[in-house]
Amino acid sequence: MSDNLFYLLTLLPSLPNLGEPLAPEDAMAKIREESGENLLLLADLLDCENEIEKCAFHYYIQGSREYAPQLSERLPESFHELFATYHNRDEADWMTAVYAAWFELLLETGDATGSGLLKEWAKWEYSLRTRLRIERLRAAGRLPADPDSIVPEFMNELTEQPDHQHLVDFVKTFSEPMRAEKFLDQARIDYLRRAVAQFSFSVDELVAYMLELRIHLRYARLSPEKGRKLLEEVTRL
């Protein structure tokens, strides 16, 4: 890790337990000030996840035809073009395609930054989301005859697929969606904190921080009573 990134890690606030308030430092602004082009792209990619969710809400749920997404110019033109297809695709098809492209960009960014952790996390997270989607489709009676058909090609090329069945089975025991989401977010944090132990004093420490900060902010958005204050205190991812 370069000296400036190591110094940056000493300045960033410690991340709390899930659901606890964060210190009011603008953590992502600090990261952006000290980062090179590849880490800036990662920050923009993480921010793009919010834009995907906003698009789904405004265009598909609220039916707002005036909605205009705000995407970083650092993202490839091909991704911009794919994102813009929400105008002529149904929601499920668009979400599947855009998230597959998003995760593929994260894998490429892992190569560009030299972050093995980012690549492992992208594989772990996409695999988890795919397993959860398969279970939802099965419960709704809409599971394709070949479930592998919903897995993007880049995931099939990976040599090892994480086994998330234990997480999926446990999630099904929750009757309240909010509790299930909190359980999954805690599992994500636990994964990152275990994984980063292998990468002390490397760029992966900063990447893990960015990924975990994203989880805390996501959970805050799911918790109205705490989310309003928290979202005022930290930079959204």
Q: Is a pLDDT exceeding 80 seen at residue 232? A: no
- Whole-model pTM: value is 0.83
User: Does pLDDT of 72 surpass 50?
Assistant: yes
Q: Does residue 150 sit within a domain?
A: no
pLDDT, mean of residues 188-204: 86
Examine residue 18 and state whether it is found in any structural domain, yes or no: no
Q: Establish if 178 belongs to a structural domain.
A: yes
Residue 111 in this model has a pLDDT that exceeds 90: yes
**DSSP annotation string for 111-139:** HHHT-HHHHHHHHHHHHHHHHHHHHHHHH
Model pLDDT, residue 134: 84
Residue 175 belongs to some domain of the structure: yes
pLDDT reading at 119 higher than 80: yes
Check pLDDT > 70 for residue 113. yes
Across residues 40-57, what is the average pLDDT? 92
Q: Which of 146, 194, 191, 187 is nearest to 169 (CA)?
A: 187
What was the pLDDT predicted at 190?
94
183 found inside a domain: yes
Tell me, yes or no, whether 152 lies in a domain. Answer: no
227 close to 220: Cβ distance less than 8 angstroms: yes
pLDDT exceeds 50 at position 234: no
- Number of domain units in the chain: 1
Position 69 pLDDT exceeds 50? yes
Tell me 61's DSSP state.
I
Range of the domain at 32: 3-13+27-140+162-227
Task: Note the pLDDT of residue 222.
Answer: 58
